[in-house]
Structure 1
Amino acid sequence: MNRAAMFDVDGTLVDTNHLHVTSWWEALRQAGHVVPMHAVHRAIGLPGEDLIAHLLGDDRDTDQDDALKAAHDTLYATYFERLPGFDSAAELLRTLHGSGWRVVLVTSAGSTELEALRRAIGADDAITATASADDVSEGKPAPDPVHHALDLADASAHASVFVGDSVWDMKAATRAGVTCVGVLCGGIPRRDLEEAGAGAVYQDPAELLARLDDSPFARVPQAQPTAGREQA
């Protein structure tokens, strides 16, 4: 039985949420849309098209969507070489990997952006696979990205844990039947994460690492060797 440790990236492992807020706010402003930054912040974690729909409504001029996403991507890309990983994020992934977990990143980021995020984390040796919104028909809060991550890890939902910072993360993992862990470093209040399905909430990756032995990760049984298979 494989165990999957699934992680959102933006706002969970890398301190990027407010960079996304600024980039989306400016992209929207340039297109003539006045959207409060707090509203943008609440939408971070949704795939680009869904974020735009969430902020501007379904009756918007959808012909603008591609230009808005391109403007956001261009603005955000200026930060690629200085994205800050959260303290202990890499150590957390390596600790789980070393304990037999299959670590999968579950993100809405595209390939170029994901490369920059992985550089910021600095733990490629601990990452088994990545699942992005591009790989599925629906992104978070639909369960599709989490189901895809489980497939990549060849793990079952009951033997897996998902860590994220947004309401969308918690809803996606809950709908997939996976135990949810929230972190506050993305800026979303504890109560909102708990109401969306978080079974435990930590300040950041450093606190989760420090408390790993009494976290939901500790309650998932270790894989048992298959009968007849030679043990290492």
Structure 2
Amino acid sequence: MPKAAVFDLDGTLLDSVDLHALAWQESLVKFGHAVRFEHVRRQIGKGGDKLIPVFLSLDEQRDHGEELAHWRGNHFKEKYLPLVRPFSVVPELLHRVREAGFQIAVASSAKKDELDNFLEIAQIVDLVDVAVCSDDAEQSKPAPDVFEVVLKKLNIQGPDAIAIGDTPYDAEAAAKANVATIGVLCGGFPEKALIDAGCVEIFRGPAALFARFGGSLLGKSAIQFHNRK
């Protein structure tokens, strides 16, 4: 039986993808890069280390990439963080996962200060055993670093975990760490994109996963484990 469920935050447990996209788009425009909202939104799920190179040349990154990322962080906290809300039944889902015998981890591309705020907003601080963010890793998703840190902290191997995420970058990063991924559509990525990235199951969101938990990879794994006991 897998021993841990590893959740993404933005777009998976929190309705925040559009807010992040707006903050990035406005930051890019402020620093002289005219980009469309839709183009930026497709990159949400990556950390700044992976997102910025999509829009800035190497010279531009050296010139103002760090300043742009810093401005974006402050801009998001001031303008958009108060608007972030959790999806339905997020604490209930994590309680169900814990009752099934799993440890619970978070693997996010957020910065540490954002991560702490997001856990509070989702009302899951006391339900999470390990929380890892981009500050804990050399590279953010779709690199596997955050998952590898989670596995190390929990002292388990990749097949001992199941990831839950809303972007292809979650599934790609998890696969590189030998972790299977359950995809959720609430972050706005198409179902085909999630399947193509390697998601083994797709649910509409946390509420659907909670409602159909017994038939999910998490629920089936728990049942198989208890039947063997």
One fold, TM greater than 0.5?
Answer: yes
Secondary structure of the corresponding residue to residue 159 of structure 2? strand
Task: Tell me the residue number matched to 1:211.
Answer: 212
Q: Is the 8 A contact 1:39 1:55 kept in 2?
A: no
Deviations 1:103-149 (A, max 9, x none): 10101112221121011110222110101121122221111211111
Higher mean displacement: 125-134 or 148-157: 148-157
Amino acid at match of 1:108: S
Deviations 1:7-35 (A, max 9, x none): 11011000010000100000001111011
Deviations 1:62-81 (A, max 9, x none): 22111111121111102333
Higher mean displacement: 18-27 or 112-121: 112-121
Secondary structure of the corresponding residue to residue 25 of structure 2? helix
Task: Tell me the residue number matched to 1:53.
Answer: 53
Amino acid at match of 2:175: T
More helix as a share of residues: 2
Question: Aligned equivalents of 1:184 and 1:40: distance in 2?
Answer: 18
- The within-5 A match list for 1:1-232 is 3-58=3-58, 60-78=60-78, 79-220=80-221, 221-222=224-225
Task: Tell me the residue number matched to 1:229.
Answer: none
Unaligned runs of 5+ in 2: none
Q: Is the 8 A contact 1:93 1:103 kept in 2?
A: yes
Q: Is the 8 A contact 1:47 1:108 kept in 2?
A: yes
Secondary structure of the corresponding residue to residue 107 of structure 2? strand
Question: Aligned equivalents of 1:21 and 1:113: distance in 2?
Answer: 15
Question: Aligned equivalents of 1:191 and 1:61: distance in 2?
Answer: 32
Q: Which runs of 4+ in 1 moved over 3 A?
A: 57-61, 221-226
Q: Cα distance 1:116–1:39, how it changes in 2: closer, same or farther (>3 A)?
A: same
Question: Aligned equivalents of 1:51 and 1:223: distance in 2?
Answer: 43
Question: Aligned equivalents of 1:141 and 1:168: distance in 2?
Answer: 4
Cα drift, residue 49 of structure 1: 2.2
Question: Aligned equivalents of 1:51 and 1:10: distance in 2?
Answer: 15
Secondary structure of the corresponding residue to residue 146 of structure 2? helix
Q: Is the 8 A contact 1:2 1:155 kept in 2?
A: no
Aligned length: 226
Q: RMSD across aligned C-alpha pairs, in angstroms? A: 2.0
Between the two proteins, what is the percent identity of the paired residues?
Answer: 31
Q: Cα distance 1:127–1:170, how it changes in 2: closer, same or farther (>3 A)?
A: same
Secondary structure of the corresponding residue to residue 198 of structure 1? coil
Q: Cα distance 1:61–1:117, how it changes in 2: closer, same or farther (>3 A)?
A: closer
Question: Aligned equivalents of 1:224 and 1:84: distance in 2?
Answer: 38
Question: Aligned equivalents of 2:58 and 2:227: distance in 1?
Answer: 49
Unaligned runs of 5+ in 1: 227-232
Cα drift, residue 167 of structure 1: 1.0
Q: Is the 8 A contact 1:6 1:160 kept in 2?
A: yes
Q: Cα distance 1:223–1:128, how it changes in 2: closer, same or farther (>3 A)?
A: farther
Higher mean displacement: 193-202 or 111-120: 111-120
Secondary structure of the corresponding residue to residue 181 of structure 1? strand
